[in-house]
Amino acid sequence: TRQFCSLRPVIKLRAAANTLVRLFPIVMATVCASAVITVPRQYLAVSLGASALGIYSSVASPTTVVQVGAQFIYTPLLGTFAEKYNKDKRSAKRLIEKVVVGIVFVGVACIALFAVFGRLALGLIFGADMADYSLLLIPAVLCTFVTGFSFFANDLLIAIRDYAASLAGNIAATAVSLLLSVPMVSVFGMNGVSYCGIAAYGTGAILMLVLLYRDYRRKA
């Protein structure tokens, strides 16, 4: 390695500070995105006990396949989208529409599968007692479906370097989560976590897509 460069680390403070300032919104957006579902889950544990949180987390864990499926569809296309967005915005728009159709297809397919086989799957994975909580499945699937859309909108904004819009959308989602966690969990119990996540991530996704569309119209 010494034949090619020095082994001593060299940190340019000005460049490091510029990078920190420029990328700080992404860090905060990620923190906010993580907090959206964490807030109602923690309130569930406080209000109904750790056992309720454990039950909800167990039932909801298989539903993450929806979010993973959505990310599997769009993640390889983010570089292509960024390139098309800078050169041919109509082509970028068509790509987004195709990805949205793919995500919707995955979501609908998973909802159907969980509706038919969810109770059986919970019994096989966690035992017969957990099958009684199958009513938690569909709201949890819808929550992860909306979460996938929110992450998709966020990653699109990051791909075009619109970090401020990403931060704004995730702050809005966190604000909705903070406002709705207590009433949702108090009224709907464990399902309240999913309903809160749907409302919060849905708000963030809509705002981020609106900001993306505004940028698209401005630069078209």
Residue 162 per-residue DSSP state: -
Q: Which positions ≥6 away from 176 have C-beta within 8 Å?
A: 196, 199, 200, 203, 204
Residue 195, pLDDT score: 96
Q: Which positions ≥6 away from 131 have C-beta within 8 Å?
A: 119, 120, 122, 123
Q: CA 76 from chain center: how many Å?
A: 17
Residue 140, pLDDT score: 93
Largest CA distance in the chain: 67
pLDDT tens digits, residue range 27-68? 999 999 999 999 999 999 999 999 999 999 988 888 888 888
Q: Which residue has the higher pLDDT, 172 or 72?
A: 172
pLDDT tens digits, residue range 156-167? 999 989 999 999
> Structure pTM?
0.88
End-to-end CA distance of the chain: 47
pLDDT at 148 over 80: yes
Q: Report, as an integer, the average pLDDT of 108-133.
A: 84
Residue 31, pLDDT score: 93
pLDDT at 169 over 80: yes
The tokens describing 161, both together, are 């370097």
Q: What pLDDT band is residue 220 in, cutting at 50, 70 and 90?
A: low
Q: How many CA atoms lie within 13 A of 172 on its CB side?
A: 20
The tokens describing 46, both together, are 């406080």
Residue 5, pLDDT score: 79
CA 113-54-46 angle, to 5 degrees, is 130
Residue 178, pLDDT score: 95
